Every structure is written in structure tokens, then in C-alpha cells.
Structure 1
Amino acid sequence: MNAQDVINFLQDNPSFFEDNPDVLTQITVPHHTGGQAISLTERQVSTLREKLAQVQGKLSELVGFGEENDSISAKVHHLTLSLLIAESFESVSQSLYTHLTEGFAVPHVQLRIWNSILKRPLPEFVEVSEELLFFAADLQRPLCGPVQQAEVQAWFGESAEQLRSWALIPLRRDAQVFGMLALGSEDAQRFFPEMGTLYVERIGDLVSAAVLRHIG
């Protein structure tokens, strides 16, 4: 008789241990962490405890993700309301900076607008290079992680040298990119290439709509 014969027998006779309850206490197996042998029943209990601990860990992780998503959704909601009631471009930009730096705890935020019908004598409307225009036009989604874009880095002045991660969000009028929202952080893991960008993209859509409402 080999191991498979034993397995086949137990599968064909599911009531075996019910009919022979003492067998479970008589069989001993090595403890999975080493040491003295334990009964089969004790081994089953130990295995079930381990599986329970794994399930509880996964559940805690899922609850944590859910709470984090709820928190981000609430912040996006507050930003949306603020942009909706903004009565000028200046109000839009001020609301944006306030909510991103205080609500989302993004330490460095810069906004640039180009190809606008109506311009303002503000830093947000400073001319950008043709190279940056092409760079932004090629972005299909927000670019997160380290950035090798000297012109964008220069927007942050002296702080640029301390920044380790970035999120560059193209602003669109239909398919045309007309600006960029740039977020920077000293934390190298704040924005990284593999991160999900759903909320970042939504913020980009909100800012695009709010800006276009005031500058055309």
C-alpha cells in the first residue's frame, strides 16, 4: 500500500474517522516548526489557526484599503465642491493649491496653462517651451515617479533639488492638452510608476473643467 492508496481509501470512506475516533488521537505527526510530535487533531487545529490568521490579515488589509479609498473620495468630493463655486480663475487656482497641500498633504503644487484664449499676468500662464508642449501632448495618463524634465523641475524653484517623486497630470480640452498640473514630494515613494492613478486622473479632469470654465 502506498500513500495514494491511503488517500483513495479515505476519500472513498469519508466516515472512517467518525467510525474510528480514537485513530485521530493515536496518530502523531511532526510539528511543522520542529520539535516533538503532535497528534493529527492538534496538527489540524494548528493548520486551521494559521489559515485563520492569514484570512484575518487579508481582511484587515482590505478594510485598510477601503478606509483609505473612502478618505480619498471625501477629499476629492471637497475639492470638487470648492472648484464648482469658484467664480474666477484665481479662485480656482487658490482652491486647488489649498486642497492639494492641506487636504491631500501634497507639499509642492504647480499649475501651468497654455493655448488659452484668455491669459492672465500670472505665473500659471508663463510661456513654456515647444519641447514641453510635445512632451505633455504625448502623455496618455498621469506620469508618476522620478522626472527628468528640467523645465518642469524649474517651476518649483529652489525646492526642486529636494524633490524625489512627481506626478505630472496633463490638462485636456477634449483630446488637446492645454496645460499641466505638477505635484512634487520629497518622499521617493509618494508618487511611483506602478501606483494607481484613478484619483489623480479624476483630479486632472476636475481641474481641466474648472479652468476651462473661466479662461475658455
Structure 2
Amino acid sequence: MQKTMDAPFDEAVIREYLADNPDFFERYPELLLTLAMPHGERGTVSLVEKRQELLRHRVHQLEEEITSLMSMASRNEQIYRFNTQLCRKLLDCEDIGELRQVLTSELKQAFQFSHVRLITVHDIDSELSAIWHKRLKQGYYFGRLTHQESHRLFGADVGSVSLARLSEDNGQVIFAMASEDVTHFHPEMDSMLLEQVRQLLDHLLPKL
């Protein structure tokens, strides 16, 4: 290991010694007050102050992580409860028209989506076929659409969308949801809600 130019000792050896002897500063507490390090805003600070600053920063990070986990758990519970209720209502539907109506009203009411559609793709419809084969190559799509795509799927400009291909056992069907918020649906978002509803539709549509 290369030594620093002005250091009489190998810094790596000192680092390893301190790591192996965490009680060193307990045996020599006066060093904590005499040793100092530069601080961008406060000049120099003691090791005790630096340690307190690092601990406060770590506590803040942990609080943010806990808040994020609690928010995620609450969101997942909301989705679970919604899907349970939606499943019961869709199972009571007697035809495809009633299913479309229930699906649309429930999703709009629960999540304030602007549009909810089940769209059958016909081979002669080149615009829908392009969306099916390009946008939904991976099975899902989250994000923005072109003006032309928005109008073909929803009949209007929308902010952001969530698209899914249903099983080809049902033909070529797109399950589409749209939000007026351009940031609501994005490529990094979780697909739990969409996947659970998609599986439910794949199960119900052949029976209707």
C-alpha cells in the first residue's frame, strides 16, 4: 500500500488497528476532543461532533425509510381491499357490457382515473395493431402516449396511461387506464394493481 507523502505511518495500518480495536477512544477519550476534521460550513469540528452529525443523518435516513415503507404498506392494503371488492362485483356480472360498466365505474371512483377501457384489436385496424405489437411487446406499458395513440385508445388527449395485453385466449384485447396527471403512470411504477385486475379479466372474459 502506498504511503501518503507526509504520513510517517501507513494509514491503512492505522485504519485496520482502529477497526479491530473499537474501544481505543474509550481508553483515550481525550483524543476525541483534540482530534478535529474540516467541515464545509463550520470550519473544524471534533470527532465527537462529527459522530453526532453522522448519527443524526442516519436517524433521518431511517425515519424516511420507515415512512416510505408505511406508505407502501398502506397503498398495498388499499389495492388488496379494492381488488377483493372488485372481484366480487365482477363475478356477479352477467355479460360483457355489465362487466365493462362495473370495471370502469369502480376504477374511476377508487383511483380517479379519467378513462378505463377494454379494447378489442382487429387485424384491419393498423393503429391498434401497432400499439398491440410495439407498445405492449413486454405485456405492459406505463407512461405517455402520442397524440394519435391517445385519441385512438381513449378518444381524447390524456396525461399518462397504463396498458396491458390480456391473454390471447381472449383474442387481442387491451386493458387501458388513463390519468389526467402526466406523472401518475411511469415506467418505474409497481404493476401490482394492473396485474391483479388483468388476471381477473383473463379468468372472467371467456365465461361471458
**Bin for the TM-score computed over the shorter chain:** 0.7 to 0.9
1:6 and 2:2 matched:
no
- Flag the 1:7–1:40 CA change in 2: closer, same or farther, 3 A: same
Q: CA deviation at 1:169?
A: 2.2
Q: CA deviation at 1:73?
A: 2.0
Q: CA deviation at 1:88?
A: 2.6
Equivalent residue for 2:5? none
- Flag the 1:109–1:130 CA change in 2: closer, same or farther, 3 A: same
Q: CA deviation at 1:106?
A: 0.9
Question: What is the aligned-residue RMSD (CA, Å)?
Answer: 2.8
Once the two structures are superposed, the pairs formed by residues 1-216 of structure 1 within 5 Å of their partners are 1-2=8-9, 3-11=11-19, 13-30=21-38, 32-113=39-120, 129-131=124-126, 132-133=128-129, 135-136=131-132, 139=136, 140-148=138-146, 150=148, 153-157=151-155, 160-161=156-157, 163-174=158-169, 177-214=171-208
Which whole-Å CA distance do the structure 1 matches of 2:34 and 2:176 have between them? 68
User: What TM-score do you get using the length of structure 1 for normalisation?
Assistant: 0.76
Residues 173 and 208 in structure 1, CA contact (< 8 A), matched pair in contact too: no
SS in 2 for 1:37: strand
Which whole-Å CA distance do the structure 2 matches of 1:208 and 1:9 have between them? 63
Unaligned runs of 5+ in 1: 115-126
Q: CA deviation at 1:7?
A: 2.6
User: What TM-score do you get using the length of structure 2 for normalisation?
Assistant: 0.78
**What do the CA deviations read for 1:37-57 (whole angstroms, capped 9, x no partner)?**
332222212211111111221
Residues 113 and 180 in structure 2, CA contact (< 8 A), matched pair in contact too: no
- Flag the 1:197–1:206 CA change in 2: closer, same or farther, 3 A: same
- Flag the 1:111–1:128 CA change in 2: closer, same or farther, 3 A: farther
Which whole-Å CA distance do the structure 2 matches of 1:165 and 1:12 have between them? 54
Unaligned runs of 5+ in 2: 1-7
- Counterpart residue type for residue 62 of structure 1: L
**What do the CA deviations read for 1:92-151 (whole angstroms, capped 9, x no partner)?**
12210111110122111222346xxxxxxxxxxxx7734234643663412222224847
Residues 161 and 185 in structure 2, CA contact (< 8 A), matched pair in contact too: yes
- Counterpart residue type for residue 202 of structure 1: Q
- Flag the 1:57–1:129 CA change in 2: closer, same or farther, 3 A: same
Which whole-Å CA distance do the structure 2 matches of 1:15 and 1:181 have between them? 62
Residues 112 and 181 in structure 1, CA contact (< 8 A), matched pair in contact too: yes
Residues 75 and 104 in structure 1, CA contact (< 8 A), matched pair in contact too: no
- Flag the 1:206–1:13 CA change in 2: closer, same or farther, 3 A: closer
Aligned pair count reads 197
**Identical-residue share of aligned pairs (%):** 27
Residues 108 and 185 in structure 1, CA contact (< 8 A), matched pair in contact too: yes
Q: CA deviation at 1:21?
A: 2.3
